[in-house]
Amino acid sequence: MGSSSGGNEETAAALVALGAATLGESGGHAADRRLRPAWPGAVLAAPAYPVGCTPGDNLAVHVAVTKAPRGSVLVVDVGRVADRGYWGEVLTTAAEAAGLAGLVLDGGVRDVAALEAHGFPVFSSTIALTGATKDKPGSVGAPVRVGGVLVSSGDWVVADVDGVTFVPGGTLDEVLAAGRAREAKEAGFFEALRSGSTTVELLGLNASLVREGDPGGTLSA
């Protein structure tokens, strides 16, 4: 896998500029809407490092912080036990020291005020206070399913206020090109709308399918 789009920093900037929503409609895989920013303003674009946990246990997360390449995002599957605080300020501090870019965890995190104070981008499906055990098997670097999407090492994660989108590493150039084309098309729409066009006209919608009622009429039971 790889890309001719430039280094990781340039690629990340391009992905952030396009955003999760645009990329999710341009060939990326949009994750389930339950994955949301743990604190307002969190934004993320970086290569994924997958982590699989035994439900209720976060040993694999601790190990992943020591194994993941610098600049990567931990993408964590915790199975069916979402209501645990699998991540908090201690792991955030360790991850920052290891040069990691952020976290997407399909379960609970805690110490949210501290995560925001650190400015460490975290996306999760819930906030949970109860801690996790640290003595069960897991996996690092092997594909996992997070937010309904199968994620492998080298895939890209793009996350913002709209949600989380995963871009397979082998399709990165194509998704970037499609995202830029979509952005350019929408820019044309904005200009046309300001000039008096309507979305019905621009999108070729069939307005006849929508019944127009009598403004003075009353609803019947």
The band of 3, judged by pLDDT with boundaries at 50, 70 and 90, is very low
Say how far residue 174 (Cα) sits from the centre of its chain: 19
Which amino acid is it at 120? Answer: F
Question: pLDDT for 72-89, tens place per residue?
Answer: 999 999 999 999 999 999
Four-CA torsion 192, 198, 202, 206, nearest 10 degrees? -170
6 pLDDT more than 80: no
Architecture of domain 8-177: 3-Layer(bba) Sandwich (3.50)
**Are the C-beta atoms of residues 74 and 105 closer than 8 Å to each other?**
yes
Q: Where are the domains of the chain?
A: 8-177
- Residues 17-68 pLDDT 10s: 999 999 999 999 999 999 999 999 999 999 999 999 999 999 999 999 999 9
Burial tier of 99 (Cβ tally within 10 Å: 0-12, 13-18, 19+): exposed
Tokens of 78: 């915790």
